[in-house]
Amino acid sequence: METRMHTARKVRSVRPVGTRAVLAELDGMEDVLALQAQLTASPLPGQLDVLAAAGTVMVVAESASAARAIGARLLELELGGAAESDSALVVIDTVYDGEDLAEVAELTGLGVDGVIAAHTGQLWTVAFAGFAPGFGYMVGENQALEVPRRSTPRTAVPAGSVALAGNYSAVYPRRSPGGWQLIGRTGAHMWDLDREQPALVRPGDRVQYRAVREIVELSAPAPAAAAEPATGIRIVAPGALSLVQDLGRRGHGGLGVSAAGALDRSSLRRANRLVGNALTAAAIETVNGGLTIQAVGDQVIAVAGAPSSLTITPPSDAVSGSSNDDGDAGPAAPRTVAMATPFALLDGETLTIGAPQAGFRTYLAVRGGVDALAVLGSRSTDTLSGLGPAPLAAGQVLGVGSETESAAVGNPELQPDFPEPGSVTVLDIVPGPRDDWFDPSQLEALCSQDWQVTPQSNRVGMRLAGEPLTRSRDGELPSEGTMAGALQIPPAGLPVLFLADHPITGGYPVIAVVTDEHLDRAAQVPIGGSIRFRVFPSFARTSARK
């Protein structure tokens, strides 16, 4: 009698992703979906988020110790079956006139008509979500349209762009950076929070692309105008960029939604603590000074982050307590207040934040917190996905909430040092998870030069200029989960340091990840500033003992 041995399906290997995440490598999409289903149904202790991809599952943890424990537990798990899902057939009307259509035709040898026929002539299945909300990675029935990503990603891809990369097709749900080959465009709304299910396509759905000569844009009804709050803060001038931010939205990686939130979390917490708010209350993040607000009703304010001058100007009809030579009281004079100190901003007074003397980002908290509509549990603005409040505009009045945690304001606090003009900011990194795509000399090259932050940088990522790095492998890396702090290396060799609004998956190898503790420091490096990377000391000591 023949006896059959049962071989358990298990995680093949686990790689660290910085200090607070691990990447599980698996043998195919079936195992990916099985592990994702298990971790969703039965989260491991300390698990914050799960991001499935082509052949990996990334698990984000609440702490470094939790990440290590999760990594060990993943290697012990036996994989069950993937969760059942109701699949639907979604038809996407597409005009095939993309910028890269001719190049794809040449790469595949099919010609333009052949590319269109191959794209519309097969069913595509959504394998997983990622990059941005509503962005579904679709796998075709054959490999006829397998093409590489662009060597240098575009800084802005239009919403509705239909694209190819590797063996996947996808539609960009909104204007965003991207390195996929663009072959067409559609008017389909891939992500809409007004729908019961915001994502047009979900993992397991089937998609049929249909060629059309033109697309019909369906305009959404204009939202009803909200009543202006009776008390709060009016935006007189928003400066270069001012956004509502809190500590972000966690646990929505399966929808393609990143955490977002304040880039310098410690400064946000400090500002909230000073006015007696809960640390999770929403505040204003502004860059490079220039923000001016006016109190609507008496308010309690604190400003933390990049050290800047804070000037309060009384209302134009306010008068001082002293008299001039004619015996009349003159207009009240402006006064200054200190950083990291709570102060009163009386009705009609304006506060102006000057250009930082060091650092780049400043956080303004109002007692009670900024009252904005919460989306997926957070009031933060995600500039990549478009979730959360729009960037602040002149004339807008922000209401004040009730997220206080203390009956009293806090004492003035000391702030850390911020990057001085002309200085070099050192950031600790953990090599991997894809440092094996580079010779050891390239990790040394990463750490032995100063990288300059280019003007193309934003909350999605910092684009760095320096001596390019070179890969030791050819080909494409299947898309996999990524996180804030990841240093992606596109084929051109210049690193992109992901920040809070990063895409949740990416297809360029990550040579290293900035430690979570140094992300606040990275957020304060201005455009034109310099960065030097250093292998995390404890990791360097561990490596030396091996």
Q: pLDDT (tens digit, 9 = 90+) per residue, 243-284?
A: 999 999 988 887 788 899 999 999 999 999 999 999 999 999
CA 261 from centre of chain: 8
Nearest to 166 by CA among 444, 544, 507, 468: 507
Mean per-residue pLDDT, 227-236: 92
pLDDT averaged over the chain? 90
Residue 31 has pLDDT above 60, yes or no: yes
Contacts of 149 by beta carbon, 8 Å cutoff, 6+ apart: 165, 166, 179, 180, 181, 476, 491, 507, 508
Strand partners, 364: 284, 303
Residue 45 has pLDDT above 50, yes or no: yes
The percentage of residues in the chain with a pLDDT greater than 70, rounded to a whole number, is 92
Q: pLDDT (tens digit, 9 = 90+) per residue, 419-435?
A: 999 999 999 999 999 99
Q: How far apart are CA 519 and CA 114, in angstroms?
A: 47
- Sheet (strand 56-61) strand order: 13-16, 21-25, 56-61, 47-52
Residue 321 pLDDT: 61
More confidently predicted of 415 and 223: 415
Q: pLDDT (tens digit, 9 = 90+) per residue, 431-478?
A: 999 999 999 999 999 999 999 999 999 999 999 999 999 999 987 788
Say if CB 376 and CB 246 are below 8 A apart.
Answer: no
Residue 328 pLDDT: 63
Mean per-residue pLDDT, 512-533: 97
**365-399 burial string, b = 16+ CB within 10 Å, else e?**
bbbbbbbbeebbebbbbbbbbbbbbeebeeebbbb
Measured N-to-C along each axis, helices 111-120 and 101-108 cross at an angle, to the nearest 10 degrees, of 90
Residue 64 pLDDT: 94
- Kindly indicate the confidence band of residue 520, based on its pLDDT and cuts at 50, 70 and 90: very high
Q: pLDDT (tens digit, 9 = 90+) per residue, 60-86?
A: 999 999 999 999 999 999 997 655 555
Mean per-residue pLDDT, 391-403: 96
**Can you give the pTM of this predicted structure?**
0.85
Residue 1 has pLDDT above 60, yes or no: no
The H or E element that residue 71 is part of is helix 64-76
Contacts of 520 by beta carbon, 8 Å cutoff, 6+ apart: 263, 264, 265, 266, 267
User: What is the separation, in whole angstroms, between the first and last Cα of the chain?
Assistant: 48
Q: Domains of the chain by range and CATH? A: 13-76 (3.30.1360.40), 89-211 (2.40.100.10), 232-318+329-400 (no CATH), 424-545 (2.40.100.10)
Tokens linked to 446:
């990463």
Regarding beta strands 310-313 and 335-337, do their DSSP bridges make them parallel or antiparallel, or are they unpaired? antiparallel
Residue 122 pLDDT: 97
Q: How far apart are CA 332 and CA 312, in angstroms?
A: 11
Mean per-residue pLDDT, 489-517: 94
Nearest to 296 by CA among 232, 344, 392, 356: 232
Query: Tokens 């996905």, residue?
Result: 385
Mean per-residue pLDDT, 368-393: 93
Report the sign of the C-alpha dihedral through residues 498, 502, 505, 506, in that order: negative
Rg of the chain over all Cα atoms, to the nearest angstrom = 26
Residue 292 has pLDDT above 90, yes or no: yes
The H or E element that residue 126 is part of is strand 124-129
Q: Helix, strand, coil: what percent of the chain each, to 5?
A: 15, 30, 50
- Sheet (strand 361-366) strand order: 242-245, 283-287, 361-366, 299-305, 343-345
Residue 193 pLDDT: 84
Residue 80 pLDDT: 77
Mean per-residue pLDDT, 168-180: 91
Q: pLDDT (tens digit, 9 = 90+) per residue, 88-97?
A: 899 999 999 9
Q: pLDDT (tens digit, 9 = 90+) per residue, 111-157?
A: 999 999 999 999 998 888 887 788 998 989 999 999 998 888 898 99
